[in-house]
Structure 1
Amino acid sequence: MLTVDLVRRGAARFGPRTAVRFGDETLTYTQVNEAANAMARVLHAHGAEPGSRVALLLGNGLWSIAMDFACLKAGVTRVPLNARLSAAEQGRMLDETGVRLLVHDAALVDRAAELAMTHGVGTLGLGTPGAVGGPDLLAAMHEVSTADPNLPARPQDPILLLYTSGTTGVLKAVEHTQASYAAIVANILTNLVGPARDSVMLHAASLIHASGTFVLPYWLRGGESVVLPGFEPQGYVDAIARYRATEINLVPTMLAMLLNTGAAQSADVTSLRTAIYGASPMPRPVIEQAMDVWGRRFAQYYGQTEAPLCLTVLDAADHGDASLLGSCGQPALDADLLVTDDDGVPVAPGEIGEIRVRAPFTMAGYHAAPELNTEMFAPGGWLRTRDMARVDERGYLYLVDRRSDMIITGGYNVYPREVEDVLLAQPSVAQAVVVGAPDDTWVEAVTAFVVPAPGALVDEAALQAAVRDRLAGYKVPRTVRVVDTVPLSPVGKVLRRALREPLWEGRR
């Protein structure tokens, strides 16, 4: 099955039903599909030939899903540009992928104009005229046919180039194809959710990343996608009640914000069947508190941009076993997983190794990066994740950390997450990030950055003592630094390297 065919099948089956909500506005399945057809024709009229690449500089909105579908119908590869990146980063993405046409919304017209002038791309606006003279796609699509272009497509055709920094801190484009993205949809339906016609998924995180992968699973089952412009704790829980959301998708940072602001405690979640979380490790104190407030309606997935969405799943029943709350679950039914040493040999249960995966939903590769692809793909079709984990006798996986985040102090390995979990269990700590700082004696010194809980004072000695009570002495932070905030990526992941790299300036 091809991804573009999934769009056609959902539209044919559920035409008059509501597919998308944004504020008080709605679009039916037919309206989304016909808009995508017309948008595809406008893209063609402005030079986006089948096989070319089109950049999207868009926030979440009413037409976001139709725009993604339009790229499928036009036979072009979409290149999402995260709005929170710098112009230099976005420009490099345009140059590396050979983009010649950029679609932007009204809020990002100035950045679009800057990119257009410095990188020689044409522009189309979405709800606004193009930044450098192109038309408004929403107006132009009323002047063309809404019939499906019905272009030929092949399983290996690329449909998405999605940039990620991954383990290296350097932006690189992950390529997904007609076949691999359709496999992502099947993976979600097989392992994580079973939407029906009464299902409502709430999208507050950017549709560029993990949240967007839930669109087609709901589209195929007749459910609704409620799109929010962004995440704000009280507005988010108000939306759960207003739209009677049955499923939500959160990153751990978002869930912590709901709890820390009190929004979660006052929320009406009577409609909510499942609160899905993933994208980064969940601190145990956060999920324990969340379950105290919302009950056992949580499901966790572990995956990567290179292999979305579910490599493993910890379902709601698993959340009833307190011993499993530190786990990311068991392997997905449609994925083969190994935990191996550096040579690819599986390690024994309980030992730490690197996760490798083989599945139909893995990426085709990194764009224009043959050396990196050679490094990341092992013989037999295995993809190296660079994530370190251990597996128990029951087959549950426990993420330890990214290989690149591991601290080596005095010859001992320290994985930041285990130290962070102890710190986060302390009432005075709202957020904690642990990194390695340079040390003349130990090479690296465990260093903690903590954000105090509201109204709390941080006592460095007390926090060090708490870690010493739970972990080996070499894992105790030598320094605890109090900060107002910790840096986050555009999708809400902690940017550990943004705290670590300044400590090493001039030392490496």
Structure 2
Amino acid sequence: MTAIGGLVLDALRARPDHVAFRHGSAEVTYREAERLVLGVADALAGAGLRPGDTVLQIRPNDPLQWLVNAACYVAGHRSAALSPGALRGAALAERLDLVAPDAVLAEPGDPDLDAWSRAHPGVRVLTDRDLMAAGEPGTAVRAPASAVVRLAFTSGTTGPVKGVELSGGALGTVATVLRDTLPWPERPRVLCPESVSGGFGNMVLPTLMLGGTFVVPERPGPDALLEAAVRHRPTVLMAMPPALRALLAHPGAAGHDWSSLALVVYSGASFTDEEIDRAHALFGEVLCGVFGQVEVPKTIAWTCPADHLDPRFRSSLGVPFPGTEIRVCGPGGRDLPAGQAGELWVRGPTTACAYAFPAGTPVENGWLRTGDVCRRDAHGRLHHVNRVQDVLRIGDIYVCPNDLEAAVSRHVGHLAAVVPTGPASVAVLVEGVASPDTASRDAVSRGTVSRERETASRDTVSRDTGSWDTMEKAVRDALRDAPVVIDAVVPVERLLRDVMGRLDRARLAEVAG
């Protein structure tokens, strides 16, 4: 297992005159990138930081952000990052207290950060200028593979935020596996609007190991992404589904020549058949999905472009990455056969072994329990079903809302969401229908109609009482053979979704309650 810091320096020294990064009109060569990495490492040491100390960045997304990470990888510091303005006030102070940084890299003028810093005078607050002030860089001592060099945060959408500790060896293996597995073009020009300190930051080193260039748009949003595509003619586009959806909907996207693209890599959620078809029409048949978690960065499973042409596989998570072992297990830990839904367990060299907070380990007997409920089909591909907290455990099986939702939708012709209300009971929310008791109330609560229109809305809906009774009966008939009790059938104007386009089950449970 090779530490990521050594891989960074080896990659940068292999092609000194090539362009490593582009950011707007600025560019950084491999030689300049190496000098920056070593210079930042020296500057951190000069500020009194030692191996094992934590460096937290709160600064914009740009190449320097990744180069600071790389300096930490080389020197053996724990690198962490927050987006500027992502947390404010007490929420920022709480996160800072959890991270307990030894140094914070940020620009001055943030009152919340300044207030926290005054209460923690031992924490060094550094600026970009401080990092650039170092003289001629020295020879870096490469941190061992066992050193923890990354502190990454879970999203907190399914529970308390966790601080995931990743070793240099695990991250080095992530880079090598991604380089050797994905169908990269030669010397890729990668355009990526996502944070280089987030999950897609794991794609920077594979790009450099292949002699490529990593392009970071000057600002967020689809306009900047399209401008960067026009300027740099990428051969690889990498983005989360929200960014790709925004690009697909952009009025200027269809007029751009995307023929340079050999690969479009996405992660975080699957696309619908309609979205895949639109992406193929715009970019070509070049989609590639990667699936991972913060605890297993981007290296659990993947789908190749050919999978997106096969109706059986296009919405799957794909096959495991080389070196990643998987199990699909029932509630008691029993391995389940193909076709049966169970929790996905993962083991491999890219898996984190510890949490900084809350203190503990995500691994049990060598296996990470991911919290994702999946099925493995007869071809060995994984299909995501639900999160484990959203399913019902009845005996030694998981009853999955997605399966119940599909049954309802097929039967009644409307999209549905199913949320647990008890150990074996559920509520069913049906989109695009209304009842006299709920339609205007729901619309007003979401701000979609004014109070003045509420009475008119009720009058209109009251004429449809009979049709709602028929709909409710149809929903119950659809789940007649399911091992659940239906507590309520709830009509809604639309089903609430999160930023990734998935059903927002926590908010839907509040609506159903």
User: Could you state the TM-score of these two structures normalised by the residue count of structure 1?
Assistant: 0.81
Alignment pair present for 1:436 and 2:427: no
Give the alignment's Cα RMSD to 1 decimal.
3.9
Q: Give the match for residue 456 of structure 2.
A: none
Does the aligned pair in 2 maintain the 1:11–1:30 contact within 8 Å? yes
CA distance in 1, matches of 2:340, 2:27: 51
Following TM superposition, by how much is the alpha carbon of 1:192 offset from its aligned partner in structure 2, in angstroms? 1.9
Q: Give structure 1 stretches of 5+ with no counterpart.
A: 127-135, 453-458
Task: Classify 1:111/1:284 alpha carbon distance in 2 versus 1 (closer, same or farther; 3 Å).
Answer: farther
Q: Give structure 2 stretches of 5+ with no counterpart.
A: 433-442, 444-460
Partner AA of 2:137 in structure 1: T
CA distance in 2, matches of 1:221, 1:305: 24
Does the aligned pair in 1 maintain the 2:74–2:142 contact within 8 Å? no
Following TM superposition, by how much is the alpha carbon of 1:259 offset from its aligned partner in structure 2, in angstroms? 2.7
Partner secondary structure for residue 176 of structure 2: helix
Partner AA of 2:144 in structure 1: R
Q: Give the match for residue 171 of structure 2.
A: 181
Does the aligned pair in 2 maintain the 1:60–1:207 contact within 8 Å? yes
Does the aligned pair in 2 maintain the 1:449–1:483 contact within 8 Å? yes
Task: Classify 1:263/1:333 alpha carbon distance in 2 versus 1 (closer, same or farther; 3 Å).
Answer: farther
Q: Give the match for residue 253 of structure 1.
A: 242
Aligned pair partner of 2:100 in 98, 101, 118: 98
Alignment pair present for 1:140 and 2:133: yes
Q: Give the match for residue 78 of structure 1.
A: 79
Deviates more, 1:246-255 or 1:217-226: 246-255
Partner AA of 1:92 in structure 2: E
Does the aligned pair in 2 maintain the 1:407–1:446 contact within 8 Å? no
Which structure has the larger Rg?
A: 2
Does the aligned pair in 1 maintain the 2:185–2:262 contact within 8 Å? no
Does the aligned pair in 2 maintain the 1:200–1:247 contact within 8 Å? yes
CA distance in 2, matches of 1:420, 1:56: 43
CA distance in 1, matches of 2:83, 2:57: 9
> What is the correspondence of 1:311-322 to structure 2 with a 5 Å cutoff?
311-322=300-311
Q: Give the match for residue 35 of structure 1.
A: 36
User: Could you state the TM-score of these two structures normalised by the residue count of structure 2?
Assistant: 0.81
Task: Classify 1:37/1:114 alpha carbon distance in 2 versus 1 (closer, same or farther; 3 Å).
Answer: same
> What is the correspondence of 1:16-35 to structure 2 with a 5 Å cutoff?
16-35=17-36
Following TM superposition, by how much is the alpha carbon of 1:248 offset from its aligned partner in structure 2, in angstroms? 1.2
Following TM superposition, by how much is the alpha carbon of 1:167 offset from its aligned partner in structure 2, in angstroms? 7.0
Does the aligned pair in 1 maintain the 2:149–2:168 contact within 8 Å? yes
Partner AA of 2:377 in structure 1: D
Partner secondary structure for residue 21 of structure 2: strand
CA distance in 2, matches of 1:151, 1:493: 44
> What is the correspondence of 1:451-466 to structure 2 with a 5 Å cutoff?
none
Does the aligned pair in 1 maintain the 2:327–2:344 contact within 8 Å? yes
CA distance in 2, matches of 1:210, 1:90: 21
Does the aligned pair in 2 maintain the 1:39–1:70 contact within 8 Å? yes
Partner secondary structure for residue 312 of structure 2: helix
CA distance in 2, matches of 1:124, 1:316: 44
Task: Classify 1:479/1:377 alpha carbon distance in 2 versus 1 (closer, same or farther; 3 Å).
Answer: same
Q: Give the match for residue 489 of structure 2.
A: 478
Deviates more, 1:413-422 or 1:188-197: 413-422
Q: Give the match for residue 133 of structure 1.
A: none
Task: Classify 1:493/1:74 alpha carbon distance in 2 versus 1 (closer, same or farther; 3 Å).
Answer: farther
Partner AA of 1:378 in structure 2: E
Following TM superposition, by how much is the alpha carbon of 1:10 offset from its aligned partner in structure 2, in angstroms? 1.1
Task: Classify 1:436/1:366 alpha carbon distance in 2 versus 1 (closer, same or farther; 3 Å).
Answer: same
Q: Give the match for residue 370 of structure 2.
A: 385
Q: Give the match for residue 504 of structure 2.
A: 496
CA distance in 2, matches of 1:493, 1:30: 41
Aligned pair partner of 1:404 in 354, 371, 389: 389
> What is the correspondence of 1:341-360 to structure 2 with a 5 Å cutoff?
341-360=330-349
Q: Give the match for residue 141 of structure 2.
A: 151
Does the aligned pair in 1 maintain the 2:162–2:357 contact within 8 Å? no
Residues 266-321 of structure 1: CA deviation (Å, up to 9, x unaligned): 33211111111111233333223322433311011111111111211110111221
Task: Classify 1:449/1:200 alpha carbon distance in 2 versus 1 (closer, same or farther; 3 Å).
Answer: farther
Following TM superposition, by how much is the alpha carbon of 1:54 offset from its aligned partner in structure 2, in angstroms? 1.0
Identical amino acids, percent of aligned pairs = 24
Task: Classify 1:36/1:117 alpha carbon distance in 2 versus 1 (closer, same or farther; 3 Å).
Answer: same
CA distance in 2, matches of 1:288, 1:23: 31
Alignment pair present for 1:225 and 2:214: yes
Does the aligned pair in 1 maintain the 2:405–2:418 contact within 8 Å? no
Task: Classify 1:245/1:82 alpha carbon distance in 2 versus 1 (closer, same or farther; 3 Å).
Answer: same
Does the aligned pair in 2 maintain the 1:273–1:297 contact within 8 Å? yes
> What is the correspondence of 1:405-420 to structure 2 with a 5 Å cutoff?
405-406=390-391, 413-416=399-402, 419=405
CA distance in 1, matches of 2:199, 2:417: 25
Partner AA of 2:32 in structure 1: Q
Following TM superposition, by how much is the alpha carbon of 1:323 offset from its aligned partner in structure 2, in angstroms? 2.1
Partner secondary structure for residue 204 of structure 2: helix
